Chain A
């Protein structure tokens, strides 16, 4: 297949083949992609790609696969807009565009030897799944590991197979809650922050990673603070509109930082002034 005429190198996607599409929830699909051009840089947990449906548009989507298998790029997409709907409807063998990987990563190295709290809300689990893959492949490097995950309902839980497998392990605490239980739900009910009561970790030795809707992030940070986890050891991943992904176009700016380039993963104390403000 012909390559796009390169005009602006950082802005020109490479083509990637859709290997598989898997429905996760009623409105969320996971795509496995294989770039046509080998030698793309390996990704680190927390980074994202700009994924392009030709003729429709491009969106930043976090990479949610195993960082030890960088040749296959896994993206979980919630069909909420024109581009994500098109991507969700793609079929194996089809071609999409890719640019990346972009952005900062979760501090998996810095967290070594410490307790790790991973708190996710809804599709916020997608950028955190590579962390869990990494941690479980290097389990001896970390002390206690706790996953706190909240979804709106049982049907909206992502990565059911992973969650069930992880819950079967003795070296990982997996706590899951839903806002709206149905008759078949036997687990926790309520918001993610309620799960902290059951979570066993040592606040003074903990690194916490948080991703979800901004309101969930806000309350989770409050809870972590209340439990004594210092804000220089809590990290959040933020979502913004992005057009370039490389710190140029201005769309994702939050105060002085570019979410695409200085983030999406931020150490909380570095953006504290800008969180929870009236849409700065």
Chain B
């Protein structure tokens, strides 16, 4: 289906068409109920929340908010439940089976329930492709993740503004969403973030996307509209960096960093890193998880939980006998080299998608590009 041109009210109709199918999540300002407001002047990340109207979505650069990954790859998932066994049937305190009523572990919401994600940026879409390679098309399929991927409709938005931390183009990405989604929306004219746009170029990328556009109508986009979109994209692209840092380009970044595994520059970098893991918890591509045993307050039920973790946490590589990455320097090195590694099944792209969240939310002012800079400054990178 060729691109269509939608007016603001038709975009709203599109949004409402999605809402009739299930909740629509989009980047929203504000705090979770009960959360304490931040000190005055302190930024809080936007987060994907269920929205009622299209105009409630805050279409800021991706780095201003949490990644959308939590909608598919949830921060915690119950893997199995167990009940207390007296006498114990195994060496542990539990035996498998449904826990007693009232002590049930938190149930996983039905992963097959339809939902939509509105306002996904190109970098987050590229990140989703990388998560797919790990959790869906890799050695094994995570059924929960795969079900959510099938259930979720993705409406991606072209960036109309380069954020201060953005560097997608330096990782092989683009401000135009590429890859698996249902619709790509390009706001044609108007204020920053596209919120002030009056017309939107909408390109369906899937049968589901086409059906949605059919439903709301719009009109075929003429040559002028396509040219206007290209102009918007061109101006954003011009504002984005082409290399990660100096001569470090996506195709040579991993090699160059790997050649400096024993550089003393890592130690200096580790001296500034606080090891808080904010970079990887806000990273849209980080797929690592932990498996933990949980116990109910009454201690008569237990369950196993898969939950997010980070390779920057000291226990991440710990074995009973020793810690495979005992020093922060090594954890940092591991994280950085992984982000610079070529992404699996993505031609010419890095694992890092250049969203800039790691530098935006690092309390020590580091993040991927700053880390590379300091390595270079120390003679660490050629």
Please measure, in the bound complex, the distance between the C-alpha atom of A228 and the C-alpha atom of B278, giving whole angstroms. 48
Contact B96–A11 (Cβ < 8 Å): no
Contact A3–B91 (Cβ < 8 Å): no
Q: Which residues of B contact A80 (CB under 8 A)?
A: 320-321
Q: Which residues of A contact B337 (CB under 8 A)?
A: 255, 280
Kindly state whether residue B246 has any CB partner on chain A within 8 Å.
Answer: no
Please measure, in the bound complex, the distance between the C-alpha atom of A155 and the C-alpha atom of B42, giving whole angstroms. 62
CB distance from B292 to the nearest CB of A (A): 8
Q: Which residues of B contact A251 (CB under 8 A)?
A: 288, 290, 316-317
Question: What does the 1/0 interface line of B293-323 toward A look like (CB < 8 Å)?
Answer: 1010000001010100001000011111100
Contact A243–B80 (Cβ < 8 Å): no
CB distance from B206 to the nearest CB of A (A): 26
Contact B291–A11 (Cβ < 8 Å): yes
Please measure, in the bound complex, the distance between the C-alpha atom of A29 and the C-alpha atom of B320, giving whole angstroms. 16
CB distance from B148 to the nearest CB of A (A): 12
CB distance from A159 to the nearest CB of B (A): 20
Please measure, in the bound complex, the distance between the C-alpha atom of A97 and the C-alpha atom of B79, giving whole angstroms. 13
Kindly state whether residue A15 has any CB partner on chain B within 8 Å.
Answer: yes
Please measure, in the bound complex, the distance between the C-alpha atom of A278 and the C-alpha atom of B329, giving whole angstroms. 10
Q: Which residues of B contact A87 (CB under 8 A)?
A: 91
The stretch from B12-20, B29-37, B133-141, B174-182 touching chain A is B133-141
Contact B96–A1 (Cβ < 8 Å): yes
CB-nearest residue of chain A relative to B262?
Answer: A278
Contact A2–B97 (Cβ < 8 Å): yes
Instruction: Please tell me which one of the listed residues A1, A5, A52 contacts residue B81 in the complex, with CB atoms under 8 A apart.
Output: A5
Instruction: Please tell me which one of the listed residues A10, A54, A241, A249 contacts residue B93 in the complex, with CB atoms under 8 A apart.
Output: A54
Question: What does the 1/0 interface line of A230-269 toward B look like (CB < 8 Å)?
Answer: 0000000001110110111111010110000100000000
Assuming the A-B contacts A4-B81, A97-B96, are A256 and B341 also in contact, with contact meaning beta carbons closer than 8 angstroms in the complex? yes
Q: Which residues of B contact A1 (CB under 8 A)?
A: 89, 95-97
Contact B142–A280 (Cβ < 8 Å): no
Contact B97–A9 (Cβ < 8 Å): no
Kindly state whether residue A89 has any CB partner on chain B within 8 Å.
Answer: yes
Assuming the A-B contacts A81-B320, A250-B287, are A90 and B91 also in contact, with contact meaning beta carbons closer than 8 angstroms in the complex? yes
Please measure, in the bound complex, the distance between the C-alpha atom of A8 and the C-alpha atom of B141, giving whole angstroms. 9
Question: What does the 1/0 interface line of A92-121 toward B look like (CB < 8 Å)?
Answer: 001111000000000000000000000000
Q: Which residues of B contact A183 (CB under 8 A)?
A: none
Question: What does the 1/0 interface line of B21-32 toward A look like (CB < 8 Å)?
Answer: 000000000000
Kindly state whether residue A164 has any CB partner on chain B within 8 Å.
Answer: no
Kindly state whether residue B276 has any CB partner on chain A within 8 Å.
Answer: no
Please measure, in the bound complex, the distance between the C-alpha atom of A156 and the C-alpha atom of B41, giving whole angstroms. 62
CB distance from B257 to the nearest CB of A (A): 11
Instruction: Please tell me which one of the listed residues A96, A261, A277 contacts residue B261 in the complex, with CB atoms under 8 A apart.
Output: A277
Please measure, in the bound complex, the distance between the C-alpha atom of A104 and the C-alpha atom of B241, giving whole angstroms. 42
Please measure, in the bound complex, the distance between the C-alpha atom of A6 and the C-alpha atom of B143, giving whole angstroms. 10
CB distance from B108 to the nearest CB of A (A): 6
Assuming the A-B contacts A53-B90, A250-B289, A278-B262, are A5 and B341 also in contact, with contact meaning beta carbons closer than 8 angstroms in the complex? no
Instruction: Please tell me which one of the listed residues B82, B288, B319 contacts residue A249 in the complex, with CB atoms under 8 A apart.
Output: B288
Please measure, in the bound complex, the distance between the C-alpha atom of A104 and the C-alpha atom of B78, giving whole angstroms. 29
Please measure, in the bound complex, the distance between the C-alpha atom of A13 and the C-alpha atom of B329, giving whole angstroms. 35
Contact A241–B95 (Cβ < 8 Å): no
Contact B80–A5 (Cβ < 8 Å): yes
Kindly state whether residue B66 has any CB partner on chain A within 8 Å.
Answer: no
CB distance from B90 to the nearest CB of A (A): 4
CB distance from B66 to the nearest CB of A (A): 20
Contact A7–B77 (Cβ < 8 Å): yes
CB-nearest residue of chain A relative to B329?
Answer: A278
The stretch from A55-63, A129-137, A142-150, A169-177 touching chain B is A55-63
Contact B293–A56 (Cβ < 8 Å): yes
Contact B288–A250 (Cβ < 8 Å): yes
Kindly state whether residue B92 has any CB partner on chain A within 8 Å.
Answer: yes
Kindly state whether residue A273 has any CB partner on chain B within 8 Å.
Answer: yes
List A residues at the B interface (Cβ < 8 Å).
1-13, 15, 52-59, 80-81, 84, 86-87, 89-90, 94-97, 239-241, 243-244, 246-251, 253, 255-256, 261, 273, 277-280
Closest 8 pairs (CB-CB, A-B) = A81-B320, A250-B288, A2-B97, A55-B94, A4-B80, A90-B91, A80-B320, A54-B94
